[in-house]
Copies of this chain bind each other. A is one copy, B any other.
């Protein structure tokens, strides 16, 4: 493949992986990151902020995941101490672990194919 690419330009193999339901996406790299940040920060709004994402978008993503999962991945509370917050449930934790692992295998696939590509 290398001999087909312009010699002066750096090329890179890249890709995306996701799980989709019948009408919308269920899980992907962006949603995974959002889950991780919610887990770490205990708040959808702070997670959104850290991802440079509007709160509404983050909230919509959480709703989409919760509705498509067997049980909610994120549990929320409006009002209460510090105004409320959000916690990643045990199901959510498991989702983080499994999709992270899948993502890692995908990265390994990309790396291996990149080797092929280069030589």
Within 8 Å by CB of A1, from B3, B14, B67, B98, lies B98
Asked whether, in the complex, the Cβ of B109 is within 8 Å of the Cβ of A4, the reply is no
A102 at the interface (CB under 8 A from B): yes
Task: Determine chain A's interface SS by DSSP, over half rule.
Answer: mixed
Q: Confirm or deny: A32 has a beta carbon within 8 angstroms of a beta carbon on chain B.
A: no
Nearest residue, chain B, Cβ from A25: B14
Which 10 residue pairs are nearest across A and B when measured between Cβ atoms? A15-B17, A1-B98, A9-B21, A16-B16, A109-B109, A6-B68, A6-B70, A4-B95, A12-B20, A14-B20
Complex A-B: 11 CB contacts under 8 Å: A1-B98, A4-B69, A4-B94, A6-B67, A6-B69, A6-B70, A9-B21, A11-B26, A13-B17, A14-B17, A16-B16
